[in-house]
Amino acid sequence: MRGIVLLLTCLWLLSLGKTVMPDIRIITDIPYNPSPDVHPRQVLDLYLPTIDHFAVVLYIHGGAWVGGDKNLYANIGNTLAQAGYGVAIINYRLSPEYSHPAHTQDGAMAVKWLSDHIADYAGNPHSLFLTGHSAGGHMVSLLTLDHQYLDAVDIDRSIIKGVIAYSGLYWIDDWIMGWAKNAFSDDEAERRAASPIHLVENAVEAGDIPPFLMIASENDYPQLLVEQADMGNKFDEYHVAYTAYVIDDRDHFGLVTRIGTPDDHTTDIIIAWLNEQSEVE
């Protein structure tokens, strides 16, 4: 039954994603891994506004590191491009075939590609926002708080102007291990090292952390509401700038699939926040 529900959900999402907004240029399936043996999932789609020198929003989908696809989230690309932002929506290698840190390393490679190439599309390579849903929220948090990933691809972290985590996962525990087949080691120390909530102190000591926007939904998995609150407490402890919301009348998936629909509160929040951070820049 769960498989049928997931299939119907994916078909519905694809129907939403087929809508192409006016005045947007869309380029699909660009490889972001420069290696000759690029994996088929190491590709991204660009949604580009008609203005020049736009800031860029990288979006990483969820799916418990074992599923998901960039093609399901064209609504996000369309909506933010209409608001004047370039959007890159990526695929990445999945478990169980690949394990941590492969997923996050792919995210870092996508950041590197944007840094090197987005100017060719009239974008600003020095103004990048990292965003992701669920497992993707974990990945963008890890990219920001564990400097090894962006350092490995020679990225100046000052280009990261902010992070948006939708229904983010901030620690790797037994609950998520039940979903994430072979995504993480059973070793407790390795799981702790992959948990963003345990990386805040070291990240603060190593340099500035860009502001975070954390958004969960009223009908989300209860564990994720707890994790968002705990991450907020950790940010408070170390004086990290963040804003957090719990959106009424949304569930785990609807939080992101309803972005761009009429009267969607999440849409208003993220565009206002992106505009504010861009002005600070």
For 9-42, the DSSP string reads HHHHHHHHHT---TT-EEEEEEE---STT--TT-
pLDDT-derived band at 281 (thresholds 50, 70, 90) equals low
Q: Given this model, what pLDDT does residue 18 score?
A: 38
Q: What is the CATH number of domain 2-280?
A: 3.40.50.1820
What digits encode the pLDDT tens for the residues 53-80?
A: 999 999 999 999 999 999 999 999 999 9
Burial environment of residue 236 by CB neighbours within 10 A (0 to 12, 13 to 18, 19 or more):
exposed
Average pLDDT over residues 111-138: 99
Give the C-alpha separation, 77 to 89, whole Å.
7
Average pLDDT over residues 149-164: 98
Q: Given this model, what pLDDT does residue 115 score?
A: 99
Examine the pLDDT at 20 and tell me if it is beyond 60: no
Q: Given this model, what pLDDT does residue 11 score?
A: 39
Domain ranges of the chain: 2-280
Average pLDDT over residues 30-36: 97
Report the mean per-residue pLDDT for the chain: 92
Q: What is the pTM of this model?
A: 0.92
